[in-house]
Amino acid sequence: MIIDYLFKKEQFNSQSRKKKQKINIIRFISKSDTACIIPEISKHLKISIPTVNKLILELIDEGIILELGKKETESGRKPSLFSINKKVFYSIGVNIQLKSLRIALVDLEMSIIEFKIYEDFRLENTKECLDDIILKIKAFFASYQIDVKSVLGVGIGLTGRINTKMGESLSYFNFTNQPLATLLSKKLQLPILLENDTRATGLAEEVCGVVGSSQDALIVNLSRGLGLSILANGNIIRGKDGYAGEFGHMQFGLKNRLCLCGKQNCLGTEVSGYGLELDFEESKAKGRSSLLNIPDNSISYRQILDIALKGDGLAMELILEQGNKLGASLGNIINLLNPQLIVIAGSYSRLGNIFIDSMKIGMSKTALVNPLKNCKIVNSHVESDKAVVLGAASLLYRKYDLI
């Protein structure tokens, strides 16, 4: 596999020195926004021009580097331009949701090459569910005829509490005698990196979303659940064991609802798709009318979002109430962290400025004037159903310092 050739640790000798130089060239070219010329590679990596030239030719023969032509100059010899062969490196991103499984093949430009949604999946803390995940990942490889030798590994975004350092899930598949990432690596014969789904969303926003050059940002992942990715000084905050960002379990709720964690008044019970479903059912039980006339136990929050965008009064009222409450809660976080940017990701991002405007009203109640004035609030531009797989796939490229 390409990963064995390039990144396998070995004792230092002349060959390993040469390999290290090749890896550094690959990383430099990979992270460059434009095609590179040999003099700039030489200058940046402090490797002689003849050596860079020789190594580049070897990497071209190996199919890793491509020569793209000549750089236009006003005079003198035109230098050759080099870029990474995007078909050499791939990463697999997996999003394990409560009621679906999503898998994507992602290239080095963070473009999705293949994408599959398994709607027949249900997340359960059982061996049968774990076997089903493994089976579906293998089926994904087979159906798209993916060459395992070109895949750096599999990044997995999973709901619940994740210890990223140990590759463990405390919420699911914790019945094995080894970390989940270790078990899956043995089954799939590939490196596995595990991440919380909300932080994976944050990683996607950082790599290919609206975060851009912002060094301090909050990425709110709001779909059926509520989570928060915190970007501080350019780094996603994970905490000591990887549990940072449990915004949905902060005690900002007011309705005394019991959360899955066992506590009451967690914000996620009131600001989330799950909370929206409960609010809608309670309102209908009190005699409120809506365009959505189906049995309460079959109503999904996505349907409520849909009818809100069509002008349904009840749905819009409940959503604006959630926005106001989310804003008031985030106002406290603004006072604490002073972010430059807040990104609304997940299914709620399609509500547009209507939801953001209601958030701003809530924020004005709790946030200090100056940090709020300098904090921009925007909706994500990353497709909500693909954000987690993109962020999960980026874990491998980050691990090997390719992006």
CATH of the domain at 244: 3.30.420.40
Smallest CA-to-CA distance from 278 within 269, 268, 286, 287 is with 269
Task: Tell me what pLDDT residue 249 has.
Answer: 95
Residues 231 and 130 in one domain: no
**Residue 158 neighbours by CB under 8 Å, 6+ apart:** 96, 169, 171, 172, 194, 195, 196, 197
Overall average pLDDT of the 179-195 stretch: 96
What's the chain's average pLDDT? 92
Q: Which pLDDT band, with edges at 50, 70 and 90, does 314 fall under?
A: very high
Measure Cα distances from 125 to 122, 131, 249 in Å.
Answer: 10, 11, 21
Task: Tell me what pLDDT residue 294 has.
Answer: 77
Residues 148 and 251 in one domain: no
Which single residue is written with the structure tokens 């914000």? 267
Task: Tell me what pLDDT residue 14 has.
Answer: 63
Report CA Rg, the chain: 24
Residues 160 and 304 in one domain: no
Residue 13 has pLDDT above 70, yes or no: no
Taking only the tens place, the pLDDT of each residue in 340-389 is 999 999 999 999 999 999 999 999 999 999 999 999 999 999 999 999 99
Q: Which pLDDT band, with edges at 50, 70 and 90, does 242 fall under?
A: confident
Structural domain of 8: 2-84
Overall average pLDDT of the 152-181 stretch: 92
CA–CA separation, 95 vs 245, rounded Å? 18
What ranges make up the beta strands (E) of 282-372? 341-345
Task: Tell me what pLDDT residue 283 has.
Answer: 94
- Total domains in the chain come to 3
Residues 108 and 244 in one domain: no
Q: What is the pTM of this model?
A: 0.89
> Where a domain ends, among 84, 117, 139?
84
Overall average pLDDT of the 10-38 stretch: 86
Overall average pLDDT of the 252-280 stretch: 95
Residue 201 has pLDDT above 90, yes or no: yes
Residues 192 and 235 in one domain: no
**Phi, psi angle pair for 118, to nearest 5°:** -100, 100
Residues 78 and 217 in one domain: no
Grouping H, G, I as helix, E, B as strand and the rest as coil, residue 272 is coil
CA–CA separation, 217 vs 205, rounded Å? 10
Task: Tell me what pLDDT residue 1 has.
Answer: 54
**Residue 43 neighbours by CB under 8 Å, 6+ apart:** none
Overall average pLDDT of the 158-164 stretch: 90
Q: Which has the higher per-residue pLDDT, 297 or 178?
A: 178
> Where a domain ends, among 50, 84, 118?
84
Residues 259 and 366 in one domain: yes
Measure Cα distances from 190 to 51, 185, 296, 336 in Å.
Answer: 33, 5, 44, 40
Calculate what percentage of the chain has a pLDDT beyond 70: 95
Overall average pLDDT of the 277-302 stretch: 88
**107 strand-pairing partners:** 90
Overall average pLDDT of the 323-348 stretch: 97
Residues 109 and 179 in one domain: yes
Task: Tell me what pLDDT residue 196 has.
Answer: 93
Calculate what percentage of the chain has a pLDDT beyond 90: 79
